[in-house]
């Protein structure tokens, strides 16, 4: 490496506050995993070479006559340093300042808000957030980055240096060859890394899948010194072929996992992966992974996606959002197309028929991977569902062609388990349906408690009919697309007239008809008392223990959905509720002899109570309290 430091302008800058925090955390929480620094730096070096190869498609001069991309790792025992260098894209001064001094990533705020101070938990969170370059400071007390961006003159290289405390220095220097060399000045206790055998072992373990050669100086036994000594010859220490291009049988699970960590910048093993070469009209290779944990920016629609696009082994772009539908945005991996042109742009991707074929094929593969996990590894599927279930639900609305398949993958909480855990599939539900039951019943609410205790469930509980309890924000939206499953319509327990006749015996039907008949005067009187406030008052078929509840017509927005829309700042039409009363309840029996004023008070109180039980906020809570006190004292 020919390089010399001739500072022209040197400047000391402070790290962004979050970087300081991250550095501190990293050093303290990741110490027991310290060797990952090598994986992270090699990973960055490999990304830098990928970027160069891509930019050079349009601008071959960037190669400056050197097209053999490679990563080199060297160490100097006397100096106590390790150097990781690459001949990739390099960084300009401004890029070094921005990339190595700040974190400009979505999810950063949320990440910091979730830290607990507990080392183990925080280590996992950092892993999830992505450790990257800053992991150098776990083993080094000083890091020097010497870099020249491809295409810039030799005099415009940058030297970035820091002790990881709070500041870094940047200086303009000369560097003959393009790319980046990172010198780690190891802390005293880290001598174990100043050893060719140790470095080779770590590189093979973590970075064997890197498709570029990783080189180290060959070592020979020196009998005189009685130790291994370095020669001047570079040798490649990894397999250096694109992992996804290898035969499945040539790749071990460990290698798949390490490759995942490299591309996903994750710390944990993936939950599952699928690796296939697709041939035929469209030719491509896919290696797709499902992570074990949701990233911080899962809900950020602009957040990073995880699929990298390659064309014939050449890296084209990260975040190729056209390659998978948005509801599978948690999938990470690589797609390598044999058909797309190397100069493919995002705009071309949008139009391309090849991309559509890839997208359809990958979607099917991911869904199969999930089918398989749901069937054969229920514990892993439960983890998946907990992390990504809400995103998968978006697919019900987004992906018409696969709606049935996605519906099979859905899991819900249900009255069958009496637990908030979402583990009941629609198929489980259908399998347990009562004889004569035609619909799949559900209730939507803000929380599990509100759903599980909803008065609308009373008759279902009494008859032992299972009801799904839906409490995720996306549920109402999803339900507008999920009308049926295996020809059984989905029905809200809080909408329309319940038709449970098929499940009632003759005696029950007769009794109900009698109650309805004898309650007519009560219903009419109450309807008058609540004029303008309700659409209708009617005798209930749902209640057993409660005096009243509110429902809406079949095709109207549920009160829960109205609230969701309003809280999202959208307009929702005012829908007057239907008040259903339970004339057999003791409270209603009292009403028969009440004078008009007391009757009106009771009617309004019942309506307000029913609204509260449904999860609504009252328009006039003070009036509710006054009215209740009046009745309590009467």
Chain residues in the site for ligand ATP (CB under 6 A)? 40, 44-45, 48, 86, 88-91, 99-100, 130, 132-134, 180, 265
CA gap 475, 443 in Å, rounded: 10
Nearer Cβ to ligand ATP (88/395): 88
Q: What are phi and psi of 549, to 5 degrees?
A: -150, 160
Q: At closest approach, how far in Å is the CB of 213 from ligand ATP? A: 16
Contacts of 373 (CB under 8 A, 6+ apart): 271, 272, 290, 380, 381, 384
Task: Give CA–CA dist 588/525, Å, rounded.
Answer: 12
Token pair 């009292």: residue: 590
Residue with smaller CB distance to ligand ATP, 86 or 161: 86
Tokens of residue 243, six digits:
């992992």
Residue 235's region, left for phi above 0, alpha for psi from -120 to 50, else beta, is: beta
Tell the smallest beta-carbon distance from residue 384 to ligand ATP (Å). 22
Q: Which CB atom, from 52 or from 500, has the smaller least distance to ligand ATP? A: 52
Nearest approach, Cβ of residue 491 and ligand ATP (Å): 46
Instruction: Return the number of the residue (173 or 358) whose C-beta is nearest ligand ATP.
Output: 173
Nearest Cα to 378, choosing from 415, 419, 416, 422?
422
Dig out the tokens for 134 from the structure: 């800053």
* CB nearer ligand ATP, residue 130 or residue 164: 130
Query: What's the min distance (Å) between Cβ of 613 and ligand ATP?
Result: 47
Q: How far is the CB of 149 from ligand ATP (least distance, A)?
A: 8
* Smallest separation, CB 236 to ligand ATP (Å): 19
Closer to ligand ATP at the Cβ: 88 or 151? 88
Which of 201, 271, 208 lies closest to 43, judged by CA? 208
Judged by beta carbon, residue 332 or residue 495, the one nearer ligand ATP is 332
Residue in 514, 462, 519, 469 with CA at minimum distance from that of residue 494: 469
H or E segment and range at residue 262:
helix 253-264
**In the complex, what is the shortest distance from the CB of residue 71 to ligand ATP, in angstroms, rounded to a whole number?**
9
* Residue the block writes with tokens 């009160």: 559
Q: CA 227 to CA 233: how far, in whole Å?
A: 18
Supply the minimum distance, in Å, between the C-beta of residue 51 and ligand ATP: 7
C-beta separation of 365 from 313 below 8 A: no
Q: Cβ(273)–Cβ(364) under 8 Å?
A: no
CB 297 to ligand ATP: min, Å: 11
Nearer to ligand ATP, 90 or 151 (CB): 90
Closest contact distance (angstroms) between CB of 103 and ligand ATP is 8
Strand 71-76 relative to strand 214-222, pairing: parallel
d(CA 101, CA 270) in angstroms, rounded, equals 30
Closest of 150, 103, 105, 36 to residue 318, by C-alpha: 105
Q: Tell me how far, at minimum, the Cβ of 26 lies from ligand ATP, in Å.
A: 11
DSSP string, 552-594: B-TTSPPHHHHHHHHHTT------PPEEEE-TTSHHHHHHTT-
Give the residue among 24, 54, 234 at the shortest CA–CA distance from 138.
Answer: 24
Q: How far is the CB of 85 from ligand ATP (least distance, A)?
A: 8
Q: Is the dihedral of CA 185, 191, 197, 199 positive or negative?
A: negative
Nearer to ligand ATP, 71 or 288 (CB): 71
342 three-state secondary structure: coil
For residues 88 and 389, which CB has a smaller minimum distance to ligand ATP in the complex?
A: 88
d(CA 133, CA 131): 7
> Contact at 8 Å (CB) between 275 and 251?
yes
C-beta of 39: minimal distance to ligand ATP in Å?
10
Given the complex with ligand ATP, which of 145 and 529 has the nearer CB atom? 145
**Nearest distance from residue 52's CB to ligand ATP, in Å?**
9
CB-based contact 37:184 (threshold 8 Å): yes
Residue 69 or residue 479: which is nearer to ligand ATP going by CB? 69
Nearer to ligand ATP, 184 or 530 (CB): 184
Is residue 220 within 8 Å of residue 228, measured between CB atoms? yes
* Whether 440 contacts 431, CB under 8 Å: no
Q: How far is the CB of 456 from ligand ATP (least distance, A)?
A: 47
Are the C-beta atoms of residues 271 and 256 closer than 8 Å to each other?
Answer: no
In whole angstroms, the minimum distance from the beta carbon of 299 to ligand ATP comes to 18
In contact, 536 and 580? CB cutoff 8 Å: no
Q: How many CB atoms lie under 10 A from the CB of residue 239?
A: 18
Q: What would the two tokens of residue 1 be?
A: 């490496």
Task: Specify whether the CB–CB gap between 65 and 177 falls below 8 A.
Answer: no
Query: Under a CB-based contact definition with an 8 Å cutoff, are residues 454 and 413 in contact?
Result: no
Give the HSE-up count for residue 155: Cα atoms under 13 Å, Cβ half-sphere: 2
| 132/547 with CB nearer ligand ATP | 132
* C-beta closer to ligand ATP: residue 99 or 172: 99
Closest CB to ligand ATP among residues 132, 213: 132
Contact call for residues 308 and 317 (beta carbons, < 8 A): yes
């Amino acid at each position: 490496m020919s390089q010399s430091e001739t500072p022209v302008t040197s400047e000391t800058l402070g790290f962004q506050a979050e970087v300081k925090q991250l550095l501190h955390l990293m050093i303290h929480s990741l110490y027991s995993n310290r060797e990952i620094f090598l994986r992270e730096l090699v990973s960055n070096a490999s990304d830098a070479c990928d970027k160069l190869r891509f930019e050079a498609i349009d601008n071959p001069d960037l190669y400056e006559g050197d097209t053999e991309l490679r990563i080199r790792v060297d160490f100097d025992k006397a100096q106590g340093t390790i150097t990781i260098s690459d001949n990739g894209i390099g960084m300009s001064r401004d890029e070094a300042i921005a990339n190595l001094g700040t974190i400009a990533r979505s999810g950063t705020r949320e990440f910091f808000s979730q830290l607990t101070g507990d080392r183990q938990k925080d280590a996992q969170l950092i892993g999830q957030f992505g450790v990257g370059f800053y992991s150098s400071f776990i083993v080094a007390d000083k890091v020097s980055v010497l870099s020249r961006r491809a295409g810039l003159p030799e005099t415009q290289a940058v030297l970035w240096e820091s002790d990881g405390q709070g500041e870094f220095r940047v200086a303009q220097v000369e560097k003959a060859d393009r790319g980046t060399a990172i010198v780690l000045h190891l802390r005293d206790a880290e001598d174990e890394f100043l050893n060719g055998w140790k470095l080779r072992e770590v590189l093979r373990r973590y970075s064997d899948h890197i498709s570029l050669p990783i080189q180290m100086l060959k070592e020979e036994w020196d009998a005189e010194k009685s130790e291994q000594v370095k020669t001047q010859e570079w040798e490649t220490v990894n397999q250096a072929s694109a992992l996804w291009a290898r035969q499945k049988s040539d790749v071990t699970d460990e290698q798949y996992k390490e490759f995942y960590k490299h591309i996903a910048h994750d710390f944990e093993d993936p939950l599952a992966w699928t690796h296939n070469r697709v041939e035929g009209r469209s030719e491509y290779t896919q290696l797709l992974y499902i992570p074990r944990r949701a990233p911080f920016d899962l809900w950020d629609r602009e957040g990073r996606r995880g699929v990298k696009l390659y064309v014939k082994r050449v890296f084209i772009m990260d975040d190729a959002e056209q390659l998978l539908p948005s509801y599978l945005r948690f999938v990470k991996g690589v797609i390598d197309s044999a058909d797309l042109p190397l100069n493919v742009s995002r705009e071309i991707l949008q139009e391309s028929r090849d991309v559509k074929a890839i997208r359809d094929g990958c979607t099917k593969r991911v869904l199969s991977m999930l089918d398989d996990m749901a069937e054969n590894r229920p514990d892993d599927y439960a983890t998946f569902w907990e992390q990504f279930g809400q995103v998968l639900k978006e697919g019900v609305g987004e992906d018409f062609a696969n709606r049935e398949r996605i519906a099979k993958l859905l899991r819900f909480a249900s009255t069958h388990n009496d637990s908030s855990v979402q583990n009941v599939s629609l198929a489980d539900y259908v399998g347990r349906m009562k004889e004569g039951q035609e619909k799949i019943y559900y209730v939507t609410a803000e929380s599990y408690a509100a759903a599980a205790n909803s008065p609308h469930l009373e008759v279902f509980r009494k008859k032992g009919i299972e009801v799904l309890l839906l409490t995720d924000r996306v549920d109402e939206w999803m339900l507008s697309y999920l009308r049926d499953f295996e020809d059984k319509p989905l029905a809200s327990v809080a909408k329309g007239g319940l038709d449970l006749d098929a499940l009632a015996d003759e005696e029950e039907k007769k009794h109900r008809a009698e109650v309805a008949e004898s309650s007519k005067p009560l219903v009419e009187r109450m309807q008058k008392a609540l004029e303008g406030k309700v659409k209708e008052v009617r005798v209930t078929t749902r209640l057993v223990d409660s005096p009243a509840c509110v429902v809406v017509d079949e095709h109207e927005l549920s009160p829960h959905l109205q609230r969701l829309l309003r809280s999202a700042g959208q307009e929702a039409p005012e829908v007057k509720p239907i008040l259903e009363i339970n004339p057999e309840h003791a409270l209603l029996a009292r009403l028969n002899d009440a004078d008009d004023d007391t009757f009106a008070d009771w009617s309004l109180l019942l309506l307000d109570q029913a609204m509260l039980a449904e999860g609504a906020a009252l328009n006039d809570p003070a009036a509710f309290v006054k009215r209740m006190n009046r009745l309590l004292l009467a």
